[in-house]
Homo-oligomer: A and B are copies of this chain.
């Protein structure tokens, strides 16, 4: 087995680069092939059947790169397509929801977890389900934060308007007395600084991207799929259509190093 085969990471767009960043930090020896479906972003409003079909297409493109594992760095896809992908592809498939939910259940002391995400993710109830599967006694308070993605994509990561918006979204969760907050959207780790500023008291913040990376590390160890320690991991980033401004925002904020973006047309 050639363990320098890449880890294939995909997302509906650019947000999944936060997972790539967490992977690079944790597993610098691994080669990573990232594919963002910028031609069809956002997936949130699309039907589960459509999202499943798109996810299979993206996974097939990464399998052509000889991916040794598939990482679904997208909450929408993770909430509807993991069983389909697991059945269809002969490599391990890992999403962002279950690792985040498990970490939150480990972190909470008062068994009251808050979840923030896009309207689609919150409406799907996917985190609530995963949190209760990890601990049936956990109480979950959820808050859709539809304006955070636009604010992030505009690069307003350290901005008083963004801080005000975050405060407005988090206030009901804080009043409800959560002690742990799950960032249930792959964009949100870019707001980790702002969220820390806004939270007035001690709340554990669970970053789904970091927990996803840890789950991948465990899986690679279990399946003896780790690249050799001398391998200098490479990152390749491909998109299905030209990137907009957000790619620069994410690259700068995450300090990710990668070469020219490859455009891989959907067939």
Chain B residue numbers with a CB within 8 Å of A45 are 241, 244
Stretch at the interface among A100-108, A146-154, A174-182: A146-154
Chain B residue numbers with a CB within 8 Å of A165 are 161
The reply to whether B161 and A150 contact each other, CB–CB distance below 8 Å, is: no
Kindly state whether residue A164 has any CB partner on chain B within 8 Å: yes
Q: Which of B150, B168, B241 contacts A146 (CB 8 A)?
A: B150
Copies of this chain, tallied across the complex: 2
Chain B residue numbers with a CB within 8 Å of A160 are 164
Chain B residue numbers with a CB within 8 Å of A156 are 147
Chain B residue numbers with a CB within 8 Å of A244 are 45
Closest to A38 in B: B45
Which A154-170 residues have a C-beta within 8 angstroms of B? Answer: 154, 156, 160-161, 164-165, 168
Chain A interface residue number, banded: 10 to 19
Give the interface SS of chain A, mostly helix, strand, loop or mixed: helix
Docked CA distance A154–B148 (Å): 11
Return the CB mask of A236-253 against B: 1 if under 8 Å, else 0: 000001001100000000
Docked CA distance A36–B162 (Å): 31
Chain B residue numbers with a CB within 8 Å of A161 are 161, 164-165, 168
Closest to A150 in B: B150
A85 to B: closest C-beta gap in Å = 25
A231 to B: closest C-beta gap in Å = 37
Closest to A148 in B: B150
Docked CA distance A156–B165 (Å): 11
A45 to B: closest C-beta gap in Å = 6
Docked CA distance A207–B164 (Å): 30
Docked CA distance A161–B167 (Å): 12
Which A26-53 residues have a C-beta within 8 angstroms of B? Answer: 45
Return the CB mask of A74-97 against B: 1 if under 8 Å, else 0: 000000000000000000000000
Docked CA distance A142–B10 (Å): 36
Docked CA distance A154–B150 (Å): 11
Known: A147-B150, A161-B165. 13 other contacts (CB 8 A): A45-B241, A45-B244, A119-B245, A146-B150, A146-B154, A147-B151, A147-B154, A147-B156, A150-B150, A160-B164, A161-B161, A161-B164, A161-B168
The 15 listed contacts between A and B (C-beta, < 8 Å) are A45-B241, A45-B244, A119-B245, A146-B150, A146-B154, A147-B150, A147-B151, A147-B154, A147-B156, A150-B150, A160-B164, A161-B161, A161-B164, A161-B165, A161-B168
